[in-house]
Structure 1
Amino acid sequence: MNKDLFVAVTFDTDSDIFEGADVASNPFSPLPWKGISDGIPLLYEHTHSIVDSYGSPLIFTWLVRADNQIKRIHDSSTFLLEEYNHIWKFAIHRGDEIGWHPHLYKLDDNLWVQETCDATNTRILMSTFEDLKKIDTLPISARVGETYCSNAIIDTFEKLGVMCDSSAMPGRSRKFKGGGVSWINAPSRPYTPSYTDYSKPCSQSRSILEVPLSMVPIKAPYDEDFYQRYVDLTFYHKFLENGLKKLVKESDLIVTISHPNTLLKRKLLRHGLLSFDIKEFIKNLNVIISECNKNGRNFRFISLKNCCHLFKNYVNS
């Protein structure tokens, strides 16, 4: 395979609470965001000299939380976009993309849990989008929290002008109270999602493209066997190296997903798979670069929105 490899390095800007949405004893306690305030500048500091085969700098897609939970806790669904406006301005200036990362939650027994009602999720997305418009933010790309999805969500994104969704985790499924999400049959390449099954391609023309996360088999220390996981460049290098090498040889596109807070050291937190170390991020990125050079492949750094024109013409072939 000699054609260019496209590499989209994406970040979901979730809070610093590692365990998930339901850990706070008070569901309305302000969430910590050092991943944004400290992690993003640290990333820029360590990657400013990295370029692709054409001399273009490494760019990122920042999928920023804006949703009903953020509004309930911080009094504004666009809190992160406004509070850290200086970071997003710098990101845009250097060529990064600012996308949308809504977590569609509801309160259940004082815990934030996944909302599975289509009508409610549609209302959340529509209401939040109105708030985004008020601050002149019209996202082209999105990824739903927990990689949740439904036909209604894809339809709503399309109506709102979102042209790229990147929630798909091919081969995986998740169950939630009252419903679930299945990407079991999703392709690994970008595709136009079916009107009747978001995880399958269709031949009809749509303005929205599904761009799946890259998946590789990983056996973490706490696993009994290998398990398909998305490519998170903050995973320990030793678990990701072989999967990355295979992707470089076989893929047209690599879409990675990380979180800014996992770039930062945690003194009291140890994890078998997540490194919480910017050095591991760089090691994994360098595997992609060195393998491309080794295999004679040029590579281009892109943002998610670039996929709309790069892959639209042959996604369902």
Structure 2
Amino acid sequence: MSTALQVPIVIGCDTDPDRESFVGPLPSERLVWRGMLEGIPALKRAVADLRDDAGAPPRFTWLVRADEQVRDLHGDYAWCLQAHGDFLRGLAAEGDALGWHPHFWRLDRQTHRWYQEVEDEAWQLKVLREAHAALARAGLTPASVRMGWTYHTSATFNTLDQLGIRLEFSPFPGLRSYSGRPATRDENQFDWSSTPTQSFHASQRDCRVPARAGEPACRMLTLPCWVATHPFWGLAAGAQMARKTGDLGLLWAALRRPSYVINVTAKPSLFAPMIRGVGRAIAAARAGHRPAPAFATYFHPDELIPNRSTMYALAHVRENLVALLDCIRRAGASPQFATADHYADHWGAEVRVTA
């Protein structure tokens, strides 16, 4: 193994069911998992020959959906693990890890429309506790979580900590999808505007920031997703978010703290700003100006199968990972593929509560 500065690469997959906007018409009475069952094996074949500096192939963390939407439509929070357990455990047997991906989807019984619940915190905590218990009964005690739409409150964050989750890698540092209070009966609500880019143990009072010395801290480690901080790309991301939401405050936020994130399945030209930022971060770490970077990224399974998008595709993953490995090596560091579990165990001990 190289003795160079190590840069862990943590790749998560939110194993959501297929999205109608991506793959076309879907039944309303059940969830469809073609992206998971067909896309994941295709991805594993596509990147099987890639190696990090330890000689290991890409390691993935497959985050199993378990939440009220799954229970309502299929009868059990842990249905995905029950129905596809052999497939998912087979991935773990190959060196990958299984984690948890809960959404706060809730059905409006009057309109029959699913929406992201952001007001009823007691309901949110109930869903987390019950879904976690169901996964445990089905044989999975998850060590890692990525939340649906990266949404959290300090109460939901502390609940995961109490449940024994070791790594949370939802945050998009510097990004948010609303100003003030999140919209109700809507979706894609999150706020990580104050979150740093380095791993940290969150404050129990505000999960977005590290606990300071003497302040109650979560035992669970937070690994923020990698974001590009270039002004042009950050402004482009802010403009897109402001256009989608009609909230011009998000454009001002992007000017103050430019942040840009995109899935590893994206076109290489759009993923390139993320990679360039890694090279700059390694240079800063080697100069002693900041800690070594950790590159966490994610994707969805239906981005791996033929879809309507002009942006996301299976072929892009290999090209992006090759470029990422090359960038890290050219910068004089050693790329290391890691599952979320391995990151928490191997690199988490180095993370301390801030002074």
Same fold by TM (over 0.5)? yes
In the alignment, what sits opposite 1:195? 204
Q: Which runs of 5+ in 2 are unaligned?
A: 244-250, 283-292
Further displaced range: 77-86 or 211-220: 211-220
Equivalent of 1:295, from 301, 311, 331? 331
The alignment partner of 2:201 has SS state of coil
Partners of 2:160 and 2:91 lie apart in 1 by 24
Contact 1:141 1:163 in 2 (8 A): yes
In the alignment, what sits opposite 1:209? 221
In the alignment, what sits opposite 2:156? 153
Structure-2 change in CA distance of 1:183 and 1:88 (3 Å):
same
Contact 2:67 2:77 in 1 (8 A): yes
How much does 1:178 deviate?
7.4
TM-score calculated relative to the size of structure 1: 0.89
In the alignment, what sits opposite 2:280? 249
Identity of aligned residues (%): 23
In the alignment, what sits opposite 1:104? 104
In the alignment, what sits opposite 1:280? 316
In the alignment, what sits opposite 1:270? 309
The alignment partner of 1:133 has SS state of helix
Further displaced range: 153-162 or 203-212: 203-212
Partners of 1:121 and 1:306 lie apart in 2 by 28
Equivalent of 2:263, from 203, 211, 232? 232
The alignment partner of 2:58 has SS state of coil
In the alignment, what sits opposite 1:260? 301
Structure-2 change in CA distance of 1:124 and 1:193 (3 Å):
same
In the alignment, what sits opposite 1:94? 94
Is 1:307 aligned with 2:310? no
What's the C-alpha RMSD, in Å, of the aligned pairs? 2.4
In structure 2, what residue type is equivalent to 1:114? Q
Partners of 1:281 and 1:75 lie apart in 2 by 34
The alignment partner of 1:202 has SS state of coil
In structure 1, what residue type is equivalent to 2:80? L
Partners of 1:140 and 1:61 lie apart in 2 by 10
How much does 1:86 deviate?
2.1
Is 1:60 aligned with 2:60? yes
Contact 1:214 1:231 in 2 (8 A): no
Is 1:168 aligned with 2:178? no
Q: Which runs of 5+ in 1 are unaligned?
A: none
Partners of 2:168 and 2:328 lie apart in 1 by 27
Aligned positions, number: 306
How much does 1:278 deviate?
1.6
The alignment partner of 1:212 has SS state of coil
In the alignment, what sits opposite 1:127? 130
The alignment partner of 1:246 has SS state of helix
In the alignment, what sits opposite 1:70? 70
More helix by share: 2
In structure 2, what residue type is equivalent to 1:314? V
How much does 1:18 deviate?
4.9
Partners of 1:290 and 1:241 lie apart in 2 by 12
CA deviation map 1:178-202 (0-9, x unaligned):
7953210001111111111110110
Partners of 1:238 and 1:123 lie apart in 2 by 42
Partners of 2:204 and 2:348 lie apart in 1 by 19
Partners of 1:18 and 1:4 lie apart in 2 by 40
In the alignment, what sits opposite 1:32? 32
Partners of 1:163 and 1:79 lie apart in 2 by 23
How much does 1:25 deviate?
8.8
Partners of 1:50 and 1:248 lie apart in 2 by 20
Further displaced range: 133-142 or 171-180: 171-180
Further displaced range: 243-252 or 103-112: 243-252
CA deviation map 1:158-208 (0-9, x unaligned):
111111111111111233317953210001111111111110110344321
In structure 1, what residue type is equivalent to 2:90? F
The alignment partner of 1:4 has SS state of strand
Partners of 2:26 and 2:37 lie apart in 1 by 21
CA deviation map 1:217-259 (0-9, x unaligned):
5448x95999733241111111111331222330510001101
In structure 2, what residue type is equivalent to 1:8? V
